């Protein structure tokens, strides 16, 4: 069989997506080959449009097409209660919890005390600015479990408590390290409502 170099290249690109293995990549690649030129153009244009329009909210780190995300810009949200998440996608899980009407802040990476770049990248400074600006009264950690995460929590907690912000973490009903992806909204609601304050 003659070698289809471009096909192999397409497959390699598709395999870069998480949870797409060699078999799935091959199947998608064959499907793409079956598409009409118009469909391919539309597909490529939609990728470009999303890439051009979507960016991280400069205030909280969520994805948005506007200058501020719809959570940060809403006066109907309770800005004094803030959930810390690790990835902007995690907002979808908490938005399903009807009893939560607070705001979010994305902590982009764990803080390594000896590595300056992790302090900057984490988004901690922005969070501390928001405490003043938005009068945040309580911050809820939704991650933890690994040593790196616990160090990060401890550092953020110390800064927040100096500013008299209540710091809590969601109830331990969620096994450490378990992805929020696998939790239903009732479990998440209970975990949020059963959150415990982290002592000083």
Shortest CB 91 distance to Zn ion, Å: 10
Kindly identify the residues of this chain, within the stretch 46-75, that bind Zn ion according to CB under 5 A.
57, 59-60, 62, 69, 72
66 versus 197: smaller Cβ distance to Zn ion: 66
Q: How far apart are CA 186 and CA 96, in angstroms?
A: 9
List phi, psi (to 5°) of 188: -70, -40
Binding mask 104-143 for Zn ion (x = CB under 5 A): ----------------------------------------
Helix (H) or strand (E) run with residue 83 in it: strand 81-85
Shortest CB 134 distance to Zn ion, Å: 11
Shortest CB 82 distance to Zn ion, Å: 11
Number of residues that bind Zn ion (CB under 5 A): 6
72 versus 198: smaller Cβ distance to Zn ion: 72
11 versus 130: smaller Cβ distance to Zn ion: 130
Strand-pair partners of 84: 105, 141
Q: How far apart are CA 33 and CA 55, in angstroms?
A: 30
Q: How far apart are CA 164 and CA 177, in angstroms?
A: 28
Q: How far apart are CA 53 and CA 19, in angstroms?
A: 26
Residues that bind Zn ion (CB under 5 A): 57, 59-60, 62, 69, 72
């Amino acid at each position: 069989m003659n070698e289809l170099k471009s096909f192999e290249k397409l497959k390699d690109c598709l395999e870069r997506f998480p949870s797409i293995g060699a078999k799935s990549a091959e199947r998608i690649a064959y499907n793409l080959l079956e598409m009409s030129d118009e469909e391919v153009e539309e597909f490529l244009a939609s990728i470009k449009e999303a890439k051009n329009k979507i960016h991280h909210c400069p205030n909280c780190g969520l994805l948005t097409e506007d200058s501020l995300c719809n959570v940060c810009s809403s006066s109907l949200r309770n800005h004094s209660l803030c959930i810390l998440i690790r990835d902007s996608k995690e907002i979808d899980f908490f938005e399903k919890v009807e009893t939560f009407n607070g705001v979010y802040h994305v902590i982009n990476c764990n803080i390594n005390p000896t590595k300056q770049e992790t302090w900057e990248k984490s988004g901690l400074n922005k969070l501390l600015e928001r405490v003043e600006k938005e009068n945040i009264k309580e911050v809820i950690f939704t991650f933890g479990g690994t040593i790196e995460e616990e160090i990060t929590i401890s550092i953020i907690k110390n800064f927040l408590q100096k500013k008299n912000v209540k710091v809590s973490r969601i109830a331990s009903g969620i096994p450490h390290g378990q992805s929020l992806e696998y939790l239903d909204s009732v479990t998440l609601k209970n975990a949020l409502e059963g959150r415990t304050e982290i002592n000083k």
